[in-house]
A and B are shown apart, each in its own frame.
Chain A
Amino acid sequence: MDLKTSDRVTAPLRSTASNGLKIVIVGGFGVGKTTMVRSVSEIRPLSTEEVMTRAGVGIDETAGVRDKTTTTVAFDFGRISLNDQMVLYLFGAPGQQRFWFLWDRLFSGTLGAVVLVDTRRVEDSWYAIDRLEHHGMPFIVARNDFGGPAYRLEDIRKALDLSDDVPLIDCDARERESSKKVLITLVNHLYALSTAQESAR
């Protein structure tokens, strides 16, 4: 294990930290979510969970969970201190159905999302992409290379039915530089969307 990373496990935030930000990494089982969080986080990834009781179910979501009294979703996260004030929290979130019932409660105000794709199981990502679009959450797609068939990115774009304006890149979640590039690509994309929106106003 990287010594520099483990040294920082318990490091508290700066006393000036005041603005927490969120980015969510979604994808199917074993696609590398935790690995990506770990490779860029200044703390060892932590895990926690959220429950939603029946009483807390939003009106428009009730239909999907009417047979259950509670929904429990576990997720892990890491963090990056960006400057004296801003702290970015990275969440690795499972893409399964019940997770999306909790999206608004956990991830409203999220800057954007990364969809991790394993080319051996591209279809695992369809649902996540569909849900992100439904929530109006901007995202990029990163192909985690597990040494599967050497599809071209263009083929993957087609398989995902992804529009041309959504960035699609290769990554290796185990590599810090590569994961960093994924986050930078996302934030650049958000920046482009945001400035376009400002000038359209």
Chain B
Amino acid sequence: MTSRSVDREDPDRLYIVTGGRSRVDEDSIDIVSLIVSECDPTPGMQSEHVKILRMCTNPMAVVEIAAELGLPVSVVKILLCDLLDTGRITARHPTMAPAKTKLPEPDILKQVLLGLENL
């Protein structure tokens, strides 16, 4: 699926998709946070929520969900916050480097190297 430009996206639709919420604690969700469904879709559930629950039976990164849905990352984050709030999904957040230094732990990097060498 190709992503649509939000410039061309009907603002009403974006409003409806996100239930009119404009601000959310997005900082808690990274673009590579891995999302996992914790329940099946239920009747009457918003279609984007249904799609997300179906997609995430195995872990799926926020950016992959955005690409699949053809929605901007920030809109997807709002949808995910709703599902997180109600416990329908869980999120596995990345192990961040300490904020100040910004450099990842040598141990993490060693594992990345191993993985790349085994490609």
Chain A interface residues (CB < 8 Å from chain B): 12-15, 17-22, 40, 46-52, 55-56, 70, 72, 74, 77, 79-83, 86-89, 105-106, 108-109, 111, 136-138, 180, 183-184, 187-188, 190-191, 193-195, 197-198
How many residues does chain B have at the interface if contact means C-beta atoms less than 8 Å apart? 48
Closest residue on chain B to residue A13 by CB atoms: B59
Q: In the complex the two chains form, is B2's CB within 8 Å of A47's CB?
A: yes
Q: In the complex the two chains form, is B103's CB within 8 Å of A190's CB?
A: yes
* Contact code string B77-119 (vs A, CB < 8 Å = 1, else 0): 0000000000000001011110001111110111111111101
Q: Which of A52, A77, A89, A191 contacts B110 (CB 8 A)?
A: A191
Q: In the complex the two chains form, is A80's CB within 8 Å of B115's CB?
A: yes
Q: In the complex the two chains form, is A184's CB within 8 Å of B111's CB?
A: no
A-B contact pairs, 22 of them (CB 8 A): A12-B57, A18-B34, A18-B59, A20-B30, A20-B33, A21-B94, A48-B66, A49-B3, A74-B5, A77-B63, A82-B112, A82-B116, A83-B115, A86-B115, A109-B96, A109-B97, A184-B116, A190-B109, A194-B106, A197-B101, A197-B103, A198-B106
Chain A residues contacting B17 (CB-CB under 8 Å) are none
A18-B92, A55-B23, A80-B116 given; 5 more Cβ-contact pairs under 8 Å = A12-B57, A15-B59, A19-B95, A77-B67, A80-B115
